[in-house]
Amino acid sequence: MKISDIQTYVVGNPPPYRGGPYFVFLKLVTDNGIKGYGEVYGVPFGPHLVAAMIEDVAARHVIGSNPFEIERLWRIVYSSGFTQHPDLSLMGVLSGLEMACWDIVGKALEQPVYNLLGGRVHETLRSYTYLYPAPEDMPQSADEGVDATEKIDAMAIAEAFGDAEMAPKRAAHYRAQGFTAIKFDPVMPMSAFDPRQLSLAALDNAELVIRNLREAVGGECDLLVGTHGQMTTSSAIRLARRLEPFDPLWFEEPVPPENTVEMARVARHTSIPVASGERLATKYEFARLLQDQAAAILQPALGRVGGILEAKKIAGMAETHYAQMAPHLYCGPIEAAANIQLATCSPNFLIQESIETFGGFHAEILVKPLEWQDGRIIPPTDPGLGVELDEAVAADHPYEGPIFPEMVEEPI
């Protein structure tokens, strides 16, 4: 069996933009007609340029190769251009190609991918969602006087995160749906000039938000503080002391991910477990995170980290440090399906990020939607990734806007 063709899809995600304004998917086809799907996440270039990058790497290294030879393909692409370094752009491309190969392998063997990586450990997967604003609070179209591709999910979510009245109402909404955990960032926005020292007003508001959230959900729902590296080490420690009385499940990326020594210093100064990993790629960067004792909860994004097998290796390393896995998800349902395969076969799985209940466009873009019930994901039993891209829907939703997400370009 050989891979004979590739196709890419840059798909516009309609309002309310859950998971971002666009998704980058790809399809590999073998010479005997098996199709495998992948998704590329977080490459910091325009999505159509990313599609061209995928096609370039595929033409040089993937077309004509055996989809079963994933380790060999991984090393060749990782070393492409004499890199042998966790380059986020190349690793994003490799991640999508790698998960498409696993999809083909699973279909060829008529097995879900998790059965090829050790087998099912978890019958269902606990999930959490971001604390998204209500759809009526989101910008709906450029006709309203707002460029919907610029003022999208991120900024509306930022407003909801920091609103001490709106946030608990949305938390209660998700708790009623069955969620037992929600994530929010009480110190948004993110700036290109971070990390910063939070003001007393920002600290006071973050404390008020989490207090109101805890009162709204009581002991029925874990609170996940999903900060995005906005703070200096000292500021993160100050915030952590304010948050500790409300017993959050984790404190995510309290400082930027580039300095694991400083992240470890935060971890030593708080009882809240530190989580990190969405902006890291390969086992090499995660090894440093573990060696420095910077995080107890690892959050690889499978559309960026290097793919499914690379994430499984990271999960194995994490086991030796008693660290847990909570795969990151802020994109489309193909990466979600890959995350689910990893989570299902990983003993140290903790919780999986979902895009609400995987309804709306996340269901529409798939032939058969992901299954979510009572706060838990039901792993698919279909072969491969367990999902199929609805290519007609993908073709009907082209995207022509800017890249996402953008950082605030002024100091906060």
Task: Return the ∠ at Cα 255 (arms to 20 and 198), rounded to 5°.
Answer: 95
CA distance 116 to 105: 9
Residues 6+ away with beta carbon under 8 Å from 145? none
Retrieve residue 399's tokens: 């995207």
Identity of the residue numbered 351: I
Structure tokens at 42: 């977080």
Phi, psi angle pair for 104, to nearest 5°: -65, -45
Peptide bond into 16 cis (omega under 30): yes
Closest CA relative to residue 26, chosen from 43, 50, 60: 50
Q: For residue 341, what is the enclosing H or E element?
A: helix 333-344
What stretch of H or E contains 335? helix 333-344
Phi-psi region at 363: left, alpha or beta (left = phi > 0; alpha = psi -120 to 50):
alpha
H helices present in 12-79, as ranges: 47-57, 70-78
β-pairing verdict for 22-30 and 35-40: antiparallel
Which DSSP category does 62 fall into? Answer: I
Rounded Cα–Cα distance for residues 305 and 316 (Å): 15
> For residues 85 and 105, what is the distance between their CA atoms, to the nearest angstrom?
27
Question: Nearest CA to 304 among 316, 314, 294, 290?
Answer: 314
- Cα 265 to Cα 185, 187, 296, 368, distances in angstroms: 21, 20, 13, 45
Query: CA-to-CA distance for 202 and 247, rounded, in angstroms?
Result: 19
Is residue 209 a contact partner of residue 167, using CB atoms and an 8 Å limit? yes
Q: Is-catalytic flag, 61?
A: no
Q: What is the dihedral of CA 114, 117, 121, 124, to 10 degrees?
A: -20
Q: Catalytic pick from 48, 85, 122, 228?
A: 228
Q: 27, 11 in Cβ contact below 8 A?
A: no
Catalytic residue among 61, 269, 328, 397: 328
Q: In the annotation, is 328 catalytic?
A: yes
Catalytic residues: 228, 328
